[in-house]
Each structure stands twice: as C-alpha cells, then as structure tokens.
C-alpha cells in the first residue's frame, strides 16, 4: 500500500489522535509495535489514519480523536496564545508558581525553545504526558534546560490539549442542541395543522392526546414515503411490490447487527441526509435525499438499503446458506438457498455469465473507524490493496454521512480490479458504496453494481463484463485496537475472455475472492504496524536512517505499482498491444512511450508477460525466486554468480515480506554502478517478487533520505498464486488405485525493458524477439532449476 504521507514525514512533532494500530504482541524484536495502540501517531498523511487539522504552528498533523470536527481547526488568537504556551517559557516562572523566597519585583524574562528542544519534548510527551522527576531531570540535562522549564512546558502542553478537547466537546454539544431545536420546531409546525387519518380533514386537537397526535402524524408521513419507494422499486425490479418493508428489510433473527428500525422505515437511515459537495449546499445542511432531478438518486438509496441488508445477512448466516466444501474446507454458497432468501437487487443474471461467491473472516490490526475511512476514500482504498486494484475513483457523492461520520455515506465509484496475469482481463465495475454503523464499534460497507439501474433510468451504458452483487465487509472492534472483519465477495462475470488455465480458479472464488481481500488487508496493516514502531526489527540494516527507510519504501511501492500496471494492461498507462507472429501464443507484448516522467528512463518501453502452471507449492516457488544466493540460476542480471544483500527493511513478521537492495558478487566493470532493488511479499492469497536495476549514486541519495521520485527504474518480476483444488495438473496414485490431482502454482513472469531511448523511434522486430526469448528462457531456467520440466 502507499505509505504516502508516512513516508514523506521525516520527523515527528505534534500529537496523534485516532489509534489505528493494535497493541500487537510481536515476538522478540517486534515487541515495540505493541505500544502503538495507546501511542498517538503524528503523521498527517498516513493511509490508515483519519486526517485532522493542525493545532500548533509546527507543521505537524494533530488528531484529537476519530470524530474530531475539522471546523475547530481554524485558529483564533486565543488558540495561538495557547499554542505558544507549549513552545515559549518564562524563565523560571509558569502560571501562579513563583519563587516564594524572591519577593523583589522583576521583569519576566521569556525563553523560546529551539526546534530541536521542542521536538524532543514533543517526543516524550507522546509517550508520557506526566513524566516523573527523574525523567524531567534527564530531559533537562539533555536539552540544556532547567528542570522547572521542562516541568512548566509539560504543564502548559497538557493544559493546551485539555482546552482543545473541551472546545471540541462544546462544539459537538452545540450541534446536537441545534439539531434537537430544529426537530422540535418541525414537530410544532406539524402539530399546528393535524390531519384526521379517517376522513382526511382537519383533526380536533382536543379529541386527541399528545402522544396519539405524534403517532398519527408520523404514520401518515411513513405511508406516503412507503408508497413512493414501492413505486420506484417496482419500476426498478420490474415487478410489483405490495410492501417494501417485508421484501427488503425484515428483522434479522438472533442478530447483533440489526439493520435498525428507524422512524422512517429506512433501516435507521435518516430521510434528511447531508448531501455531497456537488449539490453546493455543503455537508452541514440537512437537505432532502431526493434532489430536484432525483429519481435515479432515490433508486440509488433504495438499492443501497437492499444491498446492505443482503450483505449483513450473508455475513451472519451459516448453513444452509454457506456449506463447507469437502476439498480444502472453504465455504461455498448454496445458490438454491440464496435464491430463496433474497430477491435479486440488480435483476437476473445475464445469459452466459458465471457466479463466484466467497466469504472469509479474519482479525486485522486496525480499528473499525480507520478501516471504514480507508474504504470510503478511493485513493486510500487503492493504496491498501495495490495488487488488487489497478485504478479507482469516486464519480459522485450522494450522501457524505451524518453527524460528521461516515454513517449513512453513499457514493458512486469506478474501479479496475486485477489478477496479476495477462491471461485474466481487468474487471471494470461501476458500483455504489454504502457505509452504515449498526452498533457501537460495528460497521458495514457494501458495494453493488449500478449498471442495471442506469439501464432502467435511461442513462447511457456500455457492455458490462462483470457485475458486483452485494459485496463488502462487516467490521467489529475488538480489544487492543484489533478488528474482526467478515468479508463477502459475490460477482457475476463473463468468462469467455478468461484463459482456460484460470477458469477453475475464478469460478471457485479464489482469484478475486474474499480470502484474497482479507489476506492482503492483514499483511498491509501488519506492515504499517512494523513501520510505525520506533524499534528497528532484527535483520534490518541500522546504517539506513529513518528518512532513508521511508524513501526506500516509497521507491519500492512505486516499483511494485508499475509492475502490476504492466502485467494487467490497466489504464494507468497507455499500452499498445502488439500482435506479432514471432511471439508465443500465451505471451502478451505491449509498448508505450515514456516522456517527461522523472521516475522512468525516456524512450520506448516494451512489456512482456506470460503465465504458466508449475507442479509445486507456492511457498517453495516463492522461496526459490526470492533467494539471492540462487538468483544466478534464472536471472541474467546476476552475471552467473550469487548476489549479496546489502540492505534489508522488514515489512512484516514473515522474513519474506521485505524490501532489499542486492549487489552482484561477480560484478564486472560494465555493471559496477548497478544495484537491484527488490520487494517481496507473501500472504494466504499469493506472493510477489518484484525487482528493478538502479544506479548506485541514485540509491545513495535515497538511503540518505533523498527524494525517490527522480530515481528512474523499470520493474520486472513474478506473481505466484495457488491453483486451488481444481488443479489442471497431472494426477498421482497412492498405490491402492486411488488417484488425486497434484496441487501446484500459477506463475506469472513479466519484464519491462527500454528498447530505445528515443520516444519517437519505431519498434523493431529484433527487439520483440529479444524480449520474447528472454521471458521464454527465464521460464525454462526456473523449470530446470526446480526439476519440473515435465
């Protein structure tokens, strides 16, 4: 994932707010990460963190809690005075504390701390807001300050934080008060002209109790609303609905995640949602859900509610909806039971489409608020799942949420989902994403395709190759900052363009399934926990500075992202596919021009990729390809000899999750200024080995904390995924006449090479043949080294 602002932030002042990383009990050298659930992290650009305004003038992002209102970040003169109280000290005087022995009048002398002193003070304040006398004495000696100055600085800093929190609480109370006052006024207005439900005429107030007046007014409003929604849903679903309440949101039996029974029949969702900025009204005003041209948006709201109900039901229900498979023990959707329980919310399945469904539950080192915020931000969502999401964007915001939270947020999104193989086309989906809080610490985020809805409303559409049925996750907070995540993936797709090698993998729900999403989420959050730890893991090269580690990780992130874009031919780059007769059938060759991109060499870039099946476990194949000592058996860049690891940055507890810098031990004079940057990662969903040659001078700048954006590289590498239970490989016998399929791996090999340094040059046949021979030779060397040529 992108470690965006985290990697850019060279040092930390300020305070943190929303705790996003658990108190993880890492063994041995990872134990330092355990304190992060209680620590307040100060990086404003961290992908998993909630962005908050700055409190003081030191340039550090300060987050005062997950629900902190950004409006209170605007400074007043009083706040500036308080901000200075943490940085400036009266020499020997603070507040009412004065030296009783010295009663002579004297002028107060102000002492302004240096930036280095403030940085050290802030660092200790994050760990211990109430230092004891020993800690203050040690800090005063180290910073050349008096102990009283250190004591008064911490007093002022605590006072400043308390003041900010009180202001925030007051702001929330004022908002709640204004909301109650508005509701009171609307009720009073409705009571002035009550309507008799029997005759439709004006009701006599004296004949009705106050409670009965309220109930009748509410009942009449709900009836009108239900009739309107049923009419819209009937048009959308193509069948009449007598009552939407029974077909969309029946109560969940024995459920801890009830959809809620709101006063409007919409499952607890208010009928006055704050609309997004595209309506010009801002997020602070409550406007009707349906805008003036809002027939389609009303249907989006209804679709969101139906999809949310289906997702929660599928996440909670076990048998007979989900049946445990005999092969591998994974869960398989019972389609007959599914059809009985749910009405298709996006219409019937198109002819020729296949269905894949999967469910996975896991514990993740992130709290529910941070995960929800990541999922609702398209950029941070793509950064969290870099190998699965090629490109994504938010196309429209129907609702930004209620009460300053993501509860009730509805937005339209576009995404390109990928499986790292040229034999599997990118899945383009247009979908609605709806977020809802079901209870304290319990959230759900659901996706559902909107192409059918747009066809119904008459909007222009294109041919859809993939439809996303209600899919998403239910997140429940656990102690120590962990979360329990239940992920459901349910998709209908056209497999006509999928290579036969990958069809069993996709139909089983493994390729794009819930297991892959959860495994990637767990690995990425663990990586963040490691990187946020102040302790350098064992095996890391301590000679690399903290800023150098961030720069190297940022460079590796860009390298891996470009590798994925080249394998799957996503629209991140403008690729031109070549249909050359001298290229193997299963090898895809593409070209593009690299111009004015400081992160790549200028010229014509050629990408070649292919996928093969190998009869061996993904773990064995991954260990072989990432081992620098065995690299000479397949890599021409190794010059026929082993390679040496000269830098190592851990990204997880597994030693295979890391970023390395390699140097050939058989270097010749022509390659004396070349190193290899390599990133490797592995989880239950698959593994990745990506590398690129880099210049030694450029890497020296990066390792010293310099900007990595100007390091030119073109990545190559491997993607490894398990082939699943339905392996297309050979069968073996156990001697009793019984046979079973051999489990194996699907290996994708991809190269990006600069074939000409002039962007205007034409591609030659010799260049294509060279790259084709390179990729074929590499595959053959791997097979020979692992003795699986058959």
Q: pLDDT digits over 667-706, tens only? A: 554 555 678 999 999 988 889 999 999 988 888 889 888 8
Is the distance from CB of 408 to CB of 275 less than 8 angstroms? no
Q: What's the confidence (pLDDT) of residue 678?
A: 94
For the domain spanning 538-726+743-786, the CATH number is: 3.30.530.20
CA distance 43 to 11: 9
pLDDT, greater one: 287 or 450? 450
CATH architecture of 296-530: 2-Layer Sandwich (3.30)
Write out the two tokens for 101: 């022995």
CA 161 to chain centroid: 30
Torsion (CA) 550, 553, 557, 563 in degrees, nearest 10: 150
Give CA–CA dist 356/476, Å, rounded: 25
The three-class DSSP label of residue 747 is strand
Digit-coded pLDDT (tens) for 463-493:
578 899 999 999 999 988 899 999 999 999 9
Of the listed ranges 51-60, 177-186, 514-523, the one predicted with least confidence: 51-60
Alpha-carbon distance 761 to 134, whole Å?
70
Q: Could you give the C-alpha distances from 556 to 166, 648, 692, 693, in angstroms and in order?
A: 43, 12, 9, 12
Q: Tell me how crowded residue 361 is: count the other CB atoms within 10 A of its CB.
A: 15
* 542 burial type by CB count under 10 A (0-12 exposed, 13-18 middle, 19+ buried): exposed
Domains 296-530 and 538-726+743-786 share a fold: yes
CA distance 680 to 661: 11
Question: Domains of the chain: which residue ranges?
Answer: 296-530, 538-726+743-786
Report the relative pairing of strands 442-449 and 731-733 from DSSP bridges: unpaired
* Residue 320 DSSP symbol: T
pLDDT for the residue 196: 66
Considering only CA atoms, which of 56, 196, 53, 48 is closest in space to residue 118?
56
Distance between alpha carbon 708 and the CA centroid of its chain, in Å?
23
Least confident of 78-82, 158-162, 514-518: 78-82
Residue 405 scores a pLDDT above 70? yes
Q: What is the DSSP letter of 534?
A: S
Mean pLDDT of all residues in 627-648? 83
Cβ atoms within 10 Å of 768's Cβ, excluding its own: 20
> Do 299 and 307 meet the contact criterion of CB atoms below 8 Å apart?
no
Higher pLDDT, 218 or 407: 407
Rounded to an integer, the average pLDDT of 231-249 is: 51
Average pLDDT value for residue range 608-632: 90
Q: State pTM to two decimals.
A: 0.62
Q: At what angle do helices 147-192 and 77-85 cross, to 10 degrees?
A: 150
pLDDT at 370: 93
pLDDT attached to residue 107: 56
For residue 751, the model assigns a pLDDT of 92
pLDDT, position 27: 41
Inter-residue contact 625 to 718 (CB < 8 Å) = yes
Q: Which of helix, strand or coil describes residue 80? A: helix
Is residue 99 over pLDDT 60? no
Q: Which of the residue ranges 167-171, 355-359, 414-418, 765-769 would you say has the lowest mean pLDDT?
A: 765-769
Rounded-to-integer distance, Cα 694 and Cα 677, Å: 7
Which of 13-17, 193-197, 286-290, 556-560 has the lowest average pLDDT? 286-290
Measured distance CA(224)–CA(388) in Å, rounded: 44
Question: pLDDT for 341-374, tens place per residue?
Answer: 998 888 888 888 889 999 999 999 999 999 999 9
The predicted model gives 719-723 an average pLDDT of: 89
**In 3D, which of 474, 379, 518 has the Cα closest to residue 46?**
379
Residues 6+ apart with CB under 8 A from 509: 330, 356, 357, 358, 489
Q: What is the pLDDT of residues 28-73, one digit of tens each?
A: 443 333 333 334 333 333 333 333 333 344 433 333 333 334 333 4
Give, for 410, the enclosing helix (H) or strand (E).
strand 410-417
Span of 259-263, 391-395, 523-527, 739-743 with lowest mean pLDDT: 259-263
Q: How far is CA 86 from CA 113, 157, 308, 349, 354, in A?
A: 9, 5, 47, 63, 63
Task: Specify the range with the lowest mean pLDDT, choosing from 57-66, 228-237, 336-345, 408-417.
Answer: 57-66
Q: What's the pLDDT score for residue 35? A: 39
DSSP-assigned beta bridge partners for residue 604: 593, 756
Angle at CA of residue 485, ends 479 and 488, nearest 5°: 165
What token pair was written down for 431? 């979908």
pLDDT value at position 716?
94
Res. 130: pLDDT tops 50: yes
As a whole number, the mean pLDDT across the chain is 74
Cis peptide leading into residue 320 (ω within 30°): yes
Q: Is the pLDDT of residue 261 over 50?
A: no
Of the listed ranges 125-134, 557-566, 584-593, 723-732, the least confidently predicted one is 723-732
Which residues sit opposite 661 in a β-bridge? 647, 677
Are the C-beta atoms of 3 and 554 separated by less than 8 Å? yes
Q: Phi/psi at 341 (nearest 5 deg)?
A: -85, -30
Q: How confident is the model at residue 119 (pLDDT cuts 50, 70, 90)?
A: confident
Tens digits of per-residue pLDDT, 424-450? 989 999 999 999 999 999 999 999 998
Q: In whole angstroms, what is the distance from residue 376 CA to residue 395 CA?
A: 12
Q: What is the pLDDT of residue 221?
A: 75
Residue 516, judged by CB atoms within 10 A of its CB (0-12, 13-18, 19+), counts as buried
- Does residue 689 contact residue 718 with C-beta atoms inside 8 Å? yes
DSSP single-letter state for residue 468:
E
Cβ pair 212, 219 in contact under 8 A: no
Say what the pLDDT of residue 194 is: 67
Name the 3-class secondary structure at 159: helix
pLDDT band, very low/low/confident/very high, at 730 (cuts 50, 70, 90): very low
CB 50 within 8 A of CB 66: yes
661 close to 544: Cβ distance less than 8 angstroms: no
pLDDT, mean of residues 180-208: 70
For residue 633, the SS3 value is helix
Reply yes or no on whether the pLDDT at 742 is more than 60. no
Q: Where are the beta strands (DSSP E) in 559-715?
A: 576-578, 588-594, 603-614, 643-650, 658-664, 674-683, 686-695
Q: What is the pLDDT of residue 642?
A: 77
760 Cβ neighbours under 8 A, 6+ residues apart: none
Is the per-residue pLDDT at 79 higher than 70? no
Q: Which of 327-331, 524-528, 536-540, 736-740 has the lowest mean pLDDT?
A: 736-740
Winning range, highest mean pLDDT, from 530-539, 620-629, 742-751 = 620-629
Can you give the pLDDT at residue 507?
Answer: 80
pLDDT of 568-601, one tens digit each?
876 667 777 777 666 677 788 888 888 877 788 8
Q: What is the mean pLDDT of residues 232-243?
A: 55
The pLDDT-based confidence of 213 (bands split at 50, 70, 90) is low
633 touches 781 (CB < 8 A): yes
Q: What percent of the chain has pLDDT over 90?
A: 25
Of the ranges 33-37, 505-509, 628-632, which is most confident? 628-632
Q: Which two tokens stand for residue 257?
A: 């995640």
Q: Which two tokens stand for residue 453?
A: 């809805």
pLDDT value of position 393: 93
Tokens 């063994």 sit on residue? 27
Position 228 scores a pLDDT of: 72
pLDDT band for position 195 (cuts 50, 70, 90):
low
């Amino acid at each position: 994932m992108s470690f965006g602002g985290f990697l850019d932030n060279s040092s930390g002042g300020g305070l943190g707010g929303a705790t996003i990383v658990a108190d993880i009990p890492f063994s041995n050298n990872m134990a330092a990460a355990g304190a992060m659930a209680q620590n307040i992290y100060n990086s404003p650009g961290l992908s998993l963190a909630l962005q908050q305004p700055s409190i003081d003038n030191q340039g550090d992002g300060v987050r005062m809690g997950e629900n902190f209102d950004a409006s209170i970040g605007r400074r007043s003169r009083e706040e500036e005075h308080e901000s200075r109280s943490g940085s400036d000290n009266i020499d020997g005087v603070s507040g009412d504390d004065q030296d009783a022995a010295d009663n002579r009048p004297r002028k107060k002398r102000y002492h302004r701390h240096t930036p280095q002193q403030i940085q050290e003070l802030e660092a200790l304040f994050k760990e211990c807001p109430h230092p004891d006398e020993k800690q203050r004495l040690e800090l005063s000696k180290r910073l050349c300050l008096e102990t009283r100055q250190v004591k008064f600085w911490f007093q002022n800093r605590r006072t400043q934080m308390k003041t900010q929190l009180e202001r925030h609480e007051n702001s929330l109370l004022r908002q709640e008060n204004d909301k109650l006052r508005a509701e009171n006024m609307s009720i009073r207005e409705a009571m002035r002209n009550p309507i008799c439900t029997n005759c439709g005429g004006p009701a006599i107030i004296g004949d009705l109790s106050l409670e009965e007046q309220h109930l009748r007014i509410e009942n009449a409003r709900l009836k009108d609303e239900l009739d309107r929604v049923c009419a819209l849903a009937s048009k959308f679903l193509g069948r009449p609905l007598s009552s939407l309440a029974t077909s969309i949101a029946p109560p969940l039996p024995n459920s801890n995640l009830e959809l809620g029974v709101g006063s409007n029949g919409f499952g607890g969702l208010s009928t006055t949602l704050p609309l997004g900025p595209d309506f010009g009204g801002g997020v602070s005003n409550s406007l009707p859900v349906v805008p003036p041209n809002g027939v389609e948006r009303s249907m989006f709201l209804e679709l969101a509610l139906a999809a949310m109900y289906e997702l929660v039901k599928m996440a909670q229900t076990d048998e007979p909806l989900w049946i445990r498979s005999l092969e591998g023990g994974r869960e398989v959707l019972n389609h007959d039971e599914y059809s009985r329980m749910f009405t298709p919310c996006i219409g019937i399945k198109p002819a020729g489409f296949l269905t894949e469904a999967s469910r996975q539950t896991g514990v993740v080192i992130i709290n529910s608020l941070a995960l929800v915020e990541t999922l609702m931000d398209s950029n941070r969502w793509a950064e969290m799942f870099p190998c699965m999401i090629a490109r994504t964007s938010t196309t429209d915001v129907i609702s930004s949420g209620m009460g300053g939270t993501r509860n009730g947020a509805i937005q339209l999104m576009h995404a390109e989902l990928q499986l790292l193989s040229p034999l599997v086309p990118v899945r383009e989906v247009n979908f609605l994403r709806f977020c809802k809080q079901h209870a304290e610490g319990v959230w759900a985020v659901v996706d559902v395709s909107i192409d059918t809805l747009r066809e119904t409303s008459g909007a222009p559409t294109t041919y859809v190759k993939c439809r996303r049925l209600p899919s998403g996750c239910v997140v429940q907070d656990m102690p120590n900052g962990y979360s329990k995540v239940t992920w459901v993936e349910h998709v209908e797709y056209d497999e006509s363009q999928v290579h036969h090698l990958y069809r069993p993998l996709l139909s089983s729900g493994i390729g794009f399934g819930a297991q892959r999403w959860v495994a990637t989420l767990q690995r990425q959050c663990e990586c963040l926990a490691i990187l946020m730890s102040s302790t350098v893991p064992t095996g890391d090269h301590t000679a690399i500075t903290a800023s150098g580690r961030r720069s190297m990780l940022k460079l590796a992130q860009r390298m891996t992202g470009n590798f994925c874009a080249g394998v799957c031919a996503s629209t991140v780059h403008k690729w031109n596919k070549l249909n050359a007769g001298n290229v193997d059938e299963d090898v895809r060759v593409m070209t593009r021009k690299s111009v004015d991109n400081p992160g790549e060499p200028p010229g014509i870039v050629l990408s070649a990729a292919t996928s093969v099946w190998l009869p061996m476990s993904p773990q064995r194949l991954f260990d072989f390809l990432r081992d620098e000592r065995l690299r000479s058996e397949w890599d021409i860049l190794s010059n026929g000899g082993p390679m040496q690891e000269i830098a190592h940055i851990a990204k997880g507890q597994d030693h295979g999750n890391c970023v390395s810098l390699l140097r050939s031990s058989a270097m010749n004079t022509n390659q004396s200024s070349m190193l290899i940057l390599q990133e490797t990662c592995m989880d239950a969903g698959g593994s990745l080995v990506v590398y690129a040659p880099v210049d030694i001078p450029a890497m020296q700048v990066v390792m010293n904390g310099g900007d990595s954006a100007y390091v030119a590289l073109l990545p190559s590498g491997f993607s490894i995924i398990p082939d699943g239970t339905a392996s297309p490989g050979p069968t073996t016998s156990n001697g009793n006449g019984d046979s079973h399929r051999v489990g194996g791996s699907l290996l994708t090999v991809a190269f990006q090479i600069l074939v000409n340094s002039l962007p205007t040059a034409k591609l030659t046949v010799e260049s294509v043949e060279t790259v084709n021979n390179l990729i074929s030779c590499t595959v053959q060397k791997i097979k020979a080294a692992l003795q699986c040529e058959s």
